Structure 1
Amino acid sequence: MPTLTAPAPAPVIDAASLIADIERYLVEQAPRTAHPLVTKTTAELVAEALAAPAAVDEQQAPGLTAPSRLWRIIPDWALALTPARRLHGAGRQITVTQHLQLTALVIQQYGWHRGGLRSHGGARCILGAQAVLYRLGYGDEETAVAAGRAMQSVLRRRGIDEAYHAWNDRPDRTLDEVLHLIREAAHAAKEN
């Protein structure tokens, strides 16, 4: 007599890990509402005031938790349907600087790709990483376009007239160069 087994449960899309990292980053970036003397000692305030302005920090991205393989490879349109997006990310406005830092975070978590928005394994190019943020509801099209202009401005200052997404796809491009471009643009956007 054949035995019946229950069907395997549908795989759970683990959107929570990326969204948790994004939310943690945004909380860290939020301006303090209390008076600084309440949360810092005089010595800390003096040390902060005397500190030299920081150069572009290659390690400035928030802590990383790699998303599951399923989460990396689901189609981008499905990101907008995740329960985690509806709970945490829908319509959340972010600055251009935050968008750029989070673009770097997505590339670090998903992996970097050139030659298309994404690879079969889920790695993303710069535009693909921006699309992930947009689909999850972090920022809007205007924020993404402004971030693109910031990256384009950095390239122009380097004497490069190529669009940043085409620059990303060059065969000699490296992950470090891509992350440096994004972070340099974030640093420049923070100053504006």
Structure 2
Amino acid sequence: MAASTATRPVDLPVDAASLIADIERYLAEQAPRTAHPLVTKTTAELIAEALAAPAAVDEQHAPTLAAPRRLWRIIPDWALALTPARRLHGAGRAITVTQHLELTALVIQQYGWHRGGLRSRSGRRCILGAQAVLFRLGYGDENTALAAGRAMQSILRRRGIDDAYHRWNDKPERTLDDVLHLIREAANNERGQA
């Protein structure tokens, strides 16, 4: 039976805002409790409060309509750099290689998995395409993405596979489970080395 590249129902909406919310929730869970005895809230709780506080809005330049949810999946990746998360974190929010790998798996689960290119016309992403989404949204930098790629490549080498991980992703026999297993194995390996 041939493996299908359709891993997500077409009518299930995904947008950058929900992906960003999931990423922020994941990163907040990773944040340690603060060490100062007078502060009783976790870093995650403080971040949540800050994000919940109403921001000053320039009414004259505020957008009046949100982009359609499906549009966020199909717009070019360079446009993701225009999202609020990228503007909030500037050039990029520092994340670890382990976090990058775990978030790569999250992007693939949210957008759907693809082989044969960075992305499909409907917005599904391959491993490298998912890494590009994170980079464009401002999570991590090029060095983080390259280190994550080396971590996945190391796992493949241990399995006796010489293909680059992005070419391995594109093999006809590859499945979503194979891809997620590789990413999570690399994340666990990185976690063990930290």
TM-score class, shorter-chain normalisation, is: 0.7 to 0.9
Provide the residue aligned with 1:52 in structure 2. none
User: What amino acid is the match of 1:171?
Assistant: P
Deviation at 1:70, TM superposition (A): 1.0
**1:182 maps onto 2:183 in alignment:** yes
Listed one character per residue, the Cα deviations across residues 92-126 of structure 1 (whole Å, up to 9, x for unaligned) are 00000000000000000000000000000000000
Separation (CA, whole Å) in 1 of partners of 2:173 and 2:146: 25
Provide the residue aligned with 2:95 in structure 1. 94
Listed one character per residue, the Cα deviations across residues 49-87 of structure 1 (whole Å, up to 9, x for unaligned) are xxxxxxxxxxxxxxxxxx931111110010001234213
User: What amino acid is the match of 1:113?
Assistant: H
Listed one character per residue, the Cα deviations across residues 109-155 of structure 1 (whole Å, up to 9, x for unaligned) are 00000000000000000000000000011000000000000000001
Are the aligned partners of 1:80 and 1:136 in contact in 2 as well (CA < 8 Å)? Answer: yes
Unpaired segments ≥5 residues, structure 1: 1-12, 40-66
Provide the residue aligned with 1:171 in structure 2. 172
Are the aligned partners of 1:80 and 1:135 in contact in 2 as well (CA < 8 Å)? Answer: yes
Deviation at 1:33, TM superposition (A): 2.8
Provide the residue aligned with 1:154 in structure 2. 155
Q: For the pair shown, which has the larger CA radius of gyration, 1 or 2?
A: 1
Separation (CA, whole Å) in 1 of partners of 2:145 and 2:85: 21
Provide the residue aligned with 1:134 in structure 2. 135
User: What amino acid is the match of 2:160?
Assistant: G
User: What amino acid is the match of 1:190?
Assistant: R
User: What amino acid is the match of 2:79?
Assistant: A
User: What amino acid is the match of 1:74?
Assistant: I
Provide the residue aligned with 1:104 in structure 2. 105
**Which TM-score applies when normalising by structure 1?**
0.73
Identity %: 85
Separation (CA, whole Å) in 2 of partners of 1:152 and 1:73: 28
**Which TM-score applies when normalising by structure 2?**
0.73
Separation (CA, whole Å) in 2 of partners of 1:148 and 1:189: 12
Unpaired segments ≥5 residues, structure 2: 1-13, 41-67
Separation (CA, whole Å) in 2 of partners of 1:90 and 1:21: 20
Deviation at 1:14, TM superposition (A): 4.5
Deviation at 1:91, TM superposition (A): 1.5
RMSD of aligned Cα (Å):
2.0
Provide the residue aligned with 1:144 in structure 2. 145
Are the aligned partners of 2:128 and 2:166 in contact in 1 as well (CA < 8 Å)? Answer: yes
